[in-house]
Amino acid sequence: MASLKALKGRIDSVKSTQKITKAMQMVAAAKLKRAQNAAEAGRPYAERLEKVVASLASKVTISSTTPKLLTGTGEDKVHLFVVATSDKGLAGAFNANIARLARRQADSLIKQGKTVKFYTIGKKGRAVLNRLYRGQVVESIEPGDLGKLSFADAHAWAEDLIARYEAGEFDVAHLFYSHFKSVLAQDPTQQQIIPVKVPDDAPRQEGAAAIEYEPDEEAILADLLPRNVAVQLFRAMRENAASEQGSKMTAMDNATRNAGDLIKRLNIEYNRKRQAAITTELVEIISGAEAL
C-alpha cells in the first residue's frame, strides 16, 4: 500500500499533467480557428482551377504533344505515395490514421505486383513507413509548423514531384492527407494527383458561346497542370493543418478529463487513508489510557 506521502505526490503530479494538457487544448483551439479559416480561404482558388482544368481537359484531343501530366505515362507499374503527416505527435490518431490508409493501399498494390515508393511530408509518417518499407522512401520533408506553410513551399514540392515524374521515376502519384470535416471528424483521404484525374461529370459547355483561348488550349493546359499539382498539395497541407489541430484538441480534451477522473479517485483514496490513520492513532491512545 502506498503511503500517504506517496499518494499526495501522485495527486500533485497528475494535477500538473492536467494543467499541461489543458493548456495544449486551449492552444490547439486557438490554432484550429486560424487553420480552419485558412483552409476555407483557399477553397475558391482550388475549386475554380479544378473546374477550368476539367473543362479544358475534356476539350483537348489526346495526341503525342498532349502534356504527360494529363495522359499519364501509359504504364501503371510504379506508384508514388505522397504521404502528408505532421512533424509532431500528441494529436490523437491523426498521424496514425493517415499512415494506416497509406499502408493498406500500398500493401494491396504490392500484392498486385506493383512497386510503391514513398515521398513523405512530415516526420511522423516517415517514421512508420521507413520501418515497414525500408529503402522505398525516396524523399522526406520536414514541414515544421503546418499552419505556417506558404504556397511557395507547396510549389517547390510540386516542381520536385513533376521533375521526378518526367524523369520516369514513377507512373502514378497519390496524395494522402486528412480531410477536415469537423473538429470531431477528420477523414484520411487518398487522391490521385498525377496524372490529373478528370471527373467523368466534367462540365461540358454545350450551346454556350465558344470560348476564345490565348494562347491555344494546349499551351494553357501545359501551364495550368503543374500549377494544379501545387494547388492540390497546398490544399492538402491546409486541410492537414486544420485536422491536426482538431485532432489535438479532442485528444487533449480527453486527456484533461481523464486526469480529472484520476485526481478524483486518488483524492478519495487519500482521504480514506488519512481517516484510517487517524482512527488507528485514536484507538492506540484510548487503549493505552485504558491499560493504565
Partner 1 sequence: MALHFELVTPEKLVRSSEVYQVVVPGAEGDFGVLAGHAPFMATVRDGNLAIYAEERGQPELIRIEGGFAEVNEKGLTVLAEKAE
Enumerate binding residues for partner 1 (CB under 8 A).
38, 41-42, 44-46, 48-49, 52, 56, 150-151, 154-155, 208-215, 219-220, 223-224, 227, 230-231, 234-235
* Whole-number Å distance between alpha carbons of 94 and 180: 11
58 vs 73, which CB is nearer to partner 1?
A: 58
Q: How far is the CB of 43 from partner 1 (least distance, A)?
A: 9
Closest to partner 1 by CB, 59 vs 68, is: 59
Q: Quote the CA–CA distance of 105 and 129 in Å, as a whole number.
A: 12
Closer by beta carbon to partner 1, 40 or else 187: 40
3-state secondary structure of 156: helix
Minimum distance from residue 28 beta carbon to partner 1 (Å): 22
From residue 130, how far is each of 124, 143, 176, 289 by CA, in Å?
A: 10, 17, 16, 73
Which positions ≥6 away from 220 have C-beta within 8 Å?
56, 213
Closest to partner 1 by CB, 44 vs 74, is 44
Asked whether the beta carbons of 159 and 68 are under 8 A apart, the reply is: no
Considering the complex, state which of residue 208 and residue 292 has its C-beta at the smaller distance from partner 1. Answer: 208
| Distance of closest approach, residue 7 Cβ to partner 1, in angstroms | 53
Cβ neighbours, 10 Å, residue 289 = 8
CB of 152 vs partner 1, minimal distance in Å: 8
CA distance 106 to 114: 9
Torsion 62-65-67-72 (CA) sign: positive
| Cβ nearer to partner 1, comparing 170 with 234 | 234
Angle between helices 43-57 and 217-291 (to 10 degrees): 140
Q: Cβ of residue 60: shortest distance to partner 1, in angstroms? A: 13
Cα separation, 239 vs 71, in Å, equals 28
Sheet of 78-84: strand order equals 137-141, 115-121, 78-84, 172-180, 186-194
Please, what is the minimum distance in Å from the beta carbon of residue 163 to partner 1? 18
* Intra-chain end-to-end CA distance of the chain, in Å: 33
Minimum distance, C-beta of residue 173 to partner 1, in the bound complex (Å): 19
Q: Which is nearer to partner 1, 45 or 279 (CB)?
A: 45
To partner 1, the closest distance from the beta carbon of 209 in angstroms equals 5
d(CA 13, CA 5): 12
Cα(92)–Cα(251) distance, integer angstroms: 5
Based on CB atoms, which residue is closest to partner 1, 217 or 269? 217
